C-alpha cells in the first residue's frame, strides 16, 4: 500500500452564532489576501451564497464570481493571481465526485479554500479535498460553521458542549481535530439515512427533502 502525502491542511472553525461566523469568514478573507494567498470562498446552497455576497458587499470586498460545477470548472489560478481581485467566490450548484482540475499554478503559490458551510454528505466536501490535493502547491481548507447549523446538530451538538466548555472559544471560535472527525462521522450517518440528494436552495431544505427522518430529530 502506497501512502500519499496530504498536500493540504484541514480545519473546522465552530462559532456560537451564524452572525459571528460570517463576520469571521470576511475577516479571514482579508487576512489571507494580505498574506498574498489565492482565496477561493465556496458555498453549496443558494441561501448561503446570497448571505455571503451581502456580507462581502457590506465590507466593499472585491471578488470574481463563478457559478459552475467542479466537473466542468477550469480554474486558471495563475491568471486569477494576476488579477486585481485575487478572490474567487464559487457557488457550486452541482459538485461532482470526479474532479480533474488543470490549474496553472506553481509550487511557490499559496491557496486557501474558505468553505462557508459543509455539505450534508461527505462526498461533496471530498471533492474540495481532491481538488486541493491535485494542486502543485500546498493549500489550506477551512470550514466555517455555527453551533445552530443542522450539520452540527447531526454531529451531536449537545454532546460537544462539555468539550467546548473545556477548551472554550478562542478568538470567537473553537477548532479541534475531534470536531472535524465528528462532522465527518455525521456526514456518513446522514448519507446512510438519506433517500437522495435533490438539489435545493438551503441546508434546511436539503434535510427536508433528502433526509426527512433525521431532519425531524434535529
- Chain segment 5-32, per-residue pLDDT in tens: 788 999 999 998 899 999 999 999 989 9
Domain tally, the chain: 1
Residue carrying the nine cell digits 465556496: 42
In a domain, 119, yes or no: yes
Contact 149, 187 (CB under 8 A): no
In a domain, 202, yes or no: no
* Domain assignment of residue 51, given as a range: 8-186
Please give the pLDDT value at position 83. Answer: 54
In a domain, 106, yes or no: yes
In a domain, 153, yes or no: yes
Low-confidence ranges of the chain (pLDDT < 70): 1-4, 66-105, 157-171, 215-218
Please give the pLDDT value at position 97. Answer: 28
Residue carrying the nine cell digits 475577516: 27
Please give the pLDDT value at position 59. Answer: 87
Q: Quote the longest CA-to-CA distance of the chain.
A: 50
- The CATH number given to whatever domain includes residue 119 is 3.40.50.300
The helix (H) or strand (E) run that includes residue 55 is: helix 46-58
Please give the pLDDT value at position 172. Answer: 76
In a domain, 209, yes or no: no
CB atoms closer than 10 angstroms to residue 96: 15
- Torsion 83-91-27-113 (CA) sign: negative
In a domain, 170, yes or no: yes
- Torsion 142-144-150-153 (CA) sign: positive
Which pTM does this prediction carry? 0.85
In a domain, 200, yes or no: no
Please give the pLDDT value at position 204. Answer: 92
In a domain, 217, yes or no: no
Amino acid at each position: 500500500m502506497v501512502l500519499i502525502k496530504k498536500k493540504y491542511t484541514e480545519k473546522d472553525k465552530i462559532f456560537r452564532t451564524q452572525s459571528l461566523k460570517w463576520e469571521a469568514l470576511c475577516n479571514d478573507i482579508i487576512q489571507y489576501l494580505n498574506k498574498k494567498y489565492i482565496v477561493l470562498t465556496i458555498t453549496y446552497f443558494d441561501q448561503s451564497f446570497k448571505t455571503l455576497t451581502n456580507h462581502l458587499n457590506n465590507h466593499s470586498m472585491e471578488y470574481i464570481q463563478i457559478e459552475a460545477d467542479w466537473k466542468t470548472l477550469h480554474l486558471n489560478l495563475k491568471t486569477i493571481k494576476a488579477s486585481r481581485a485575487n478572490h474567487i467566490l464559487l457557488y457550486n450548484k452541482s459538485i461532482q465526485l470526479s474532479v480533474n482540475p488543470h490549474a496553472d499554478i506553481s509550487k511557490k503559490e499559496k491557496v486557501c479554500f474558505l468553505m462557508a458551510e459543509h455539505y450534508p454528505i461527505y462526498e461533496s466536501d471530498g471533492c474540495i479535498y481532491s481538488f486541493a490535493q491535485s494542486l502543485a502547491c500546498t493549500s489550506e481548507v477551512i470550514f466555517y460553521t455555527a453551533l445552530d447549523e443542522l450539520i452540527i446538530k447531526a454531529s451531536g451538538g449537545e454532546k460537544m458542549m462539555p468539550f467546548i466548555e473545556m477548551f472554550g472559544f478562542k478568538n470567537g471560535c473553537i477548532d479541534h481535530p475531534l470536531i472535524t472527525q465528528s462532522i465527518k462521522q455525521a456526514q456518513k450517518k446522514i448519507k446512510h439515512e438519506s433517500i437522495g440528494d435533490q438539489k435545493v436552495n438551503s441546508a434546511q431544505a436539503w434535510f427536508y427533502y433528502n433526509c426527512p427522518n433525521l431532519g425531524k430529530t434535529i
